[in-house]
Chains A and B, each alone.
Chain A
Amino acid sequence: MSFIKYIEKNKAEEIENILNPIVREWFFSKFKEFSLTQLYGVKNINDRKNILVCAPTGGTKTLTAFLPIINYLVELALKKELENKVYAVYCSPLKALTNDIYINLIKPLEEIGEIAKKKGKEMQEIRVGLRTGDSEQKERQKMTKKSPHILVTTPESFAIVMTSKKFIENLRGVEYVIVDEIHALTNKRGVYLSLTLERLSDISIIEPVRIGLSATIAPLEEIARFLVGVGRECLIADVKLMKKVEIGLNFPGGNIIEAESIENQRELYYILDELIWKHKTTLIFTNTRAATERIIHYLDLHFPGKYVGLIGAHHSSMSKEKRFEIEEKLRKGELKVVVSSTSLELGIDIGSIDLVIMLRSPKSVSRALQRIGRAGHKLHENPKGEFLVLDRDDLIECGVMRKGMIEGKIDLAEIPKNCLDVLSQQIYGMAITRVWNVDELLKLIRRSYCYENLTKEDFYSVISYLAGDYALEHRNVYAKIWYDAEKKLIGKRGKMARVIYLTNLGTIPGEESASVIIGTGERKGSVVGKIDESFLEKMKRGDVFVLGGNKYQFLYARGLKAFVSADVSKNPTIPSWFSEILPLNFELAKEIGRFRKLVKERLQEKERCIEWIMSYLYCKREIANEIYDYFWQQDKFSEIPDEKTLVVEKYKENKEYLMFHSLYGRRVNDVLARAYAYAAARLKHRDVEIGVGDNGFYIAGESLDENKIINWVKSKDLEKIVKEAIEKTEILRRRFRHCAARALMILRNYKGREKSVGKQQVHSEFLFVAVKKLSDDFPILREARREVIEDLMDIKNAKKVLEWIERGEIKIKIKKLPLVSPFGLNLSLQGKSDLIKMEDRVSFLKRMYEIHMRTINNKEEFKII
């Protein structure tokens, strides 16, 4: 029984025949012909089939979904049969939807209305309602009485209307649901939406048709199942618009080692300048907010005055208005160049960009495609992009990525499963709307693809949590729902339930940004900028970081204020991209490992090897030369690690280092590093430092016995080891706070008072300790652990790697070296990521006391009083 089916395109006449004459006239007044995407999608949607439409950016996806719906509504409106209900829900993860919706929905409807008027046909008004977090109270109330026919919303606001007593009546007859940008929902927001969709199906008189719109993504079958849930059919329209990918690979300067130096950074700006003026509008992706600022700053320094008014920044820490302003300017063609961290990757139409430059690796093929898709957003233009890389690891990475783009190899997306925090919030929301039988509830939940395999134990542990069973005493005060185990019923508890739900709902954790304030000297008290909360959390007294091109030394934090000193001569101790870095995709990482092996096999014959690299990577000779040199150096100094050889280098600086050249991406390496570090820490009962990158990781400690360490970690124990290793880390606490907020254990908003993230932090800190004492199996605690090892890290693939090692498919080779090898250099410079704690607080205190007693000679100071 196959529920998923790939489809072919329909004939243009078939679609033309569907359309009402007025809609047809409108369409051809705007477009010459149907786009390929429309040929795939329109008829099937009209036939009320669930469908996932996957097409590159600019493939007219949104209109494909709306055209048959508009057509249907126009026909009803002409017959005056439009009812006061929502016919279609359009849900998008983007909040700044207004403009897109105007183009794809409101304007077409207006124009169709005019055509009808001209023809003397009377037509009911087709109403479009926008409901996002920004919608005003008045608007919302109006909507309840006079229902929009098409409701445009976000996943969060969708859940709100699903809980609204009155509005829910307007939703019982929904016939279509469109989920746009579904590729950006392979996260907890998407998990959340999948349950909201099941709630919609549950209250619907007729099962709504589900339409998913996606940019290039894989595996499509999984995304399709994610869209429709369990037991429903889904068509897949894999629209292969033969857009030819035009993508360059380049580095500034003649020699890439020099490109890394400050002097040659100059070269970078000259190349950028040249590229910018060769094109109409250029979009530059930098991956991080800090780099975005730096690029703008230096372009101006190198070319004074040239970019005034022509350059704009766009990143997620900017205000909404500021970002919108930049988007508007882009659309109007007023800007020559826009520099973005990652924030412009997603959807909205941003006008006539004809070149996308990627500084630093985008870390996955689909992300790279998404980015260059921003150029030539119009249907028949080819996207054009340029990789500009600054170091040799990036050169190889982008080279292999580019090969994947050219050959159409897409990496795999993953959707989180059985998230108990999201589940808690949704069950709470459902209990507000009515009394549920728990079996019926579980059945509904399991219809979501993300909860298909939810165990009864997990389900009941969430019910127990919500019902206050973990509260030991005063059960009534703390419960969120009531649960009658005998009758198997649950329902709402307390008058505040609905308000609490509505003001705290959502899955995006409150990651606030912290103000950076000068804490000493003349400029004391002046605010110099903002940093992410997660970045602040990593900082320790004395750390030096870069913000807006200036260096600051961190003094202390008070809530969400970071006090710094501006008078710094030390070099930065924290790389500015630290908190924001994207992880390298596992599939792509393996491809690079394969490439390493193929080069290694050919290394002895220089000329042939270089030519092979040129043909394999479709690249210029100078790039192939550069790559060859890099491999040759590694080979001479140590050994080239590849997909079959895991090279582990041992060397000594102030500590002993074990550098594992495991090219699997940082999500996998994070797991492996923690497991090996845990083994090392256990052996010596001392803390061990780890550093994690995409190309490998290191562990560092006083003395490391590599054989014992490596043999101790076995794939079958990995989960247990890693769970233990993360138990005392900051990251688990932080994720616990996020999960606790999602599960409504910590409220962001209570009785109208917004709680600061700082306050939530103090509470969650204590809650974490208390919950652990109460029960180690508390569902939200387990969810935090799952999120860390499955979503943030990648235990599944890490386990796979260990199995390969155990089966001998990967050989470990230990190399003893005087210092770090060329391949390990970048990683060792990056600094440590975390500390695996083994020594407990009490023994650490004793050790510190002893050290202290030894160093203090002046006994006088003990006698101050």
Chain B
Amino acid sequence: MEEIINEEEGTKIKFVGKCLLIEKLKNLNKKRKKIERVLVVGDLHLGFGEIIGIFGINVGREMFNNIIDEMSEVFRKIGKVDKVILLGDIKHDFGGILRQEWSDVIKMIDYLKEKCKKIILIKGNHDNFLKKIVRKRNLKIYNYYFYEGFFFCHGERDYKKIWDKKVKYLIVGHGHPAIKLKEKKGNKVEKYKCFLVGKIRGKKIIIIPSFAEYYVGSEPREGEIILAWNINFLNFVVYVVGENLEVLNFGLLKNL
């Protein structure tokens, strides 16, 4: 089940597993209309497997294959799209380019090319050396990207343009949101990746969970989510990522 959260004037925002799908109805001319579809993907941290495997056993390959498998599941459900936006922290290593990052990033781009017309890469705080890699595929890296009332950036930095009247939605990653669900009477606690949806200075903001699986994420109630803005998450709505690309609305964080 995908959750449709807005349907004003031809805009639909849907949750597809850990990703966000934006559908925009566009008037090509007076008669012809077209729905443009944009898929937003959170932090990938490609190459993380190599970092931990640097002296241990190699799990990087396995990790990358998992990521591709999960993406394929998304595309199987929604079909091809017009744009894919990667919301930053595409690769992991701050300090350089690991050999596996070269191949993972290139493979990822080649994979996405088959699934969309345009790939938008947004720079995250881990992406210092990403430019060098994506040059090979003639891609640019953006600090932020604006599209039809939506402002996309990684989330660790503020931009003046966010606060422009034209911006209705702010879509960010970086925070790796995840929520701990606890049984009232029992002791069982489990953590799940989630979207956090709320408001900030008159804009609507959606924080996208990380796509990378190695780490479930950070709990907003434990002060672990640090973005460029000071946000009280208690009035945010929590959408928990479940099984089979299902997303469950758990209501306001403060009532959880």
Contact = CB atoms under 8 A, between A and B. Distances in A.
Given A541-B222, A835-B187, A477 B58 contact: yes
A210 to B, nearest CB: 34
A206 interface: no
A740 interface: yes
Given A558-B223, A766-B59, A864 B198 contact: yes
B255 A767 contact: no
Given A774-B62, A862-B249, A745 B55 contact: yes
Nearest to A563: B223
Contact of A740 (B48, B56, B235): B56
Contacts of B48: 766
Contacts of B58: 468, 471-475, 477-478
Nearest to B244: A842
B187 A849 contact: no
Interface stretch (B82-90, B127-135, B154-162, B188-196): B188-196
B65 to A, nearest CB: 11
A472 B52 contact: no
A537 to B, nearest CB: 13
Nearest to A841: B190
A471 B255 CA distance: 46
A745 B188 contact: no
A744 interface: yes
Contact of B237 (A470, A473, A563, A861): A861
Contact of B57 (A687, A771, A832): A771
A861 B252 contact: yes
Interface string B219-256: 10111100000000001010010110000111110011
A233 to B, nearest CB: 42
A842 B214 CA distance: 18
A251 interface: no
Contact of B55 (A473, A500, A519): A500
Contacts of B215: 762, 765-766
A472 B250 contact: no
Contact of A478 (B6, B56, B243): B56
Nearest to B240: A845
B248 A849 contact: yes
A746 interface: yes
B96 interface: no
B59 A770 contact: yes
Interface string B46-90: 001100111111111111000000000000000000000000000
B187 A689 contact: yes
Contact of A766 (B52, B188, B222): B52
B50 to A, nearest CB: 8
Interface string A735-754: 00000100011110010000
A862 B181 contact: no
Given A766-B214, A852-B251, A864-B197, A465 B57 contact: yes
Interface string A754-772: 0000000011011100110
A322 interface: no
Given A558-B224, A766-B215, A852-B251, A747 B55 contact: yes
B187 A864 contact: no
B10 interface: no
A603 B186 CA distance: 40
Contact of B186 (A687, A740, A745, A765): A687
Given A852-B250, A861-B237, A556 B222 contact: yes
Given A654-B185, A762-B215, A845-B181, A480 B55 contact: yes
Contacts, number: 137
Contact of A767 (B5, B59, B184): B59
A652 to B, nearest CB: 14
A865 interface: yes
Of B215, B235, B248, chain A has the most CB atoms within 10 Å of the CB of B248
B52 A767 contact: yes
Contacts of A773: 62
A765 B214 CA distance: 8
A465 B56 CA distance: 9
B251 A844 contact: no
Contacts of A480: 55
B242 A864 contact: no
A744 B190 contact: no
A97 interface: no
A845 B242 contact: yes
A470 B251 CA distance: 45
Given A471-B58, A862-B251, A844 B52 contact: no
A540 interface: yes
Nearest to A775: B57
A409 to B, nearest CB: 40
B192 A865 contact: no
Contacts of B242: 842, 845-846, 849
A842 B243 contact: yes
A555 interface: yes
B107 interface: no
Nearest to A743: B56
B224 A473 contact: no
B252 to A, nearest CB: 5
A864 B62 CA distance: 39
A677 to B, nearest CB: 13
Given A744-B55, A767-B59, A865-B197, A844 B5 contact: no
A602 B34 CA distance: 93
B55 A472 contact: no
Nearest to A475: B58
A848 B251 CA distance: 12
Contacts of A829: none
A474 B50 CA distance: 10
Interface in B3-44: 5-6
Nearest to B189: A540
Of A474, A770, A771, chain B has the most CB atoms within 10 Å of the CB of A770
B114 interface: no
A672 to B, nearest CB: 20
A842 B199 CA distance: 30
Contacts of B61: 472-474
A544 to B, nearest CB: 15
Of B54, B100, B251, chain A has the most CB atoms within 10 Å of the CB of B251
A398 B250 CA distance: 53
A472 B62 CA distance: 9
Nearest to B248: A849
A655 B167 CA distance: 53
A856 interface: yes
Of A750, A766, A774, chain B has the most CB atoms within 10 Å of the CB of A766
A832 B185 CA distance: 14
Interface in A507-529: 519
B222 A478 contact: no
B186 to A, nearest CB: 7
Contacts of B6: 865
Nearest to B249: A862
A305 to B, nearest CB: 43
B204 interface: yes
B76 to A, nearest CB: 20
Nearest to A542: B182
Contacts of A844: 181, 188, 190
Nearest to A831: B187
Contacts of B221: 541, 556
B5 to A, nearest CB: 5
27 contacts: A471-B53, A471-B57, A474-B61, A478-B55, A478-B56, A478-B57, A540-B187, A541-B222, A555-B222, A556-B221, A556-B223, A558-B223, A750-B54, A766-B48, A766-B52, A766-B214, A832-B187, A835-B188, A839-B188, A845-B190, A845-B240, A846-B242, A852-B250, A862-B237, A862-B251, A865-B5, A865-B6
Given A471-B53, A687-B186, A774-B59, 12 more contacts: A472-B61, A477-B54, A477-B99, A478-B53, A689-B187, A770-B59, A844-B190, A849-B242, A862-B249, A864-B237, A865-B199, A865-B204
Ranked nearest first, the 7 interchain pairs of A and B with the lowest CB-CB distance are: A556-B222, A770-B59, A471-B58, A745-B56, A766-B214, A763-B52, A861-B252
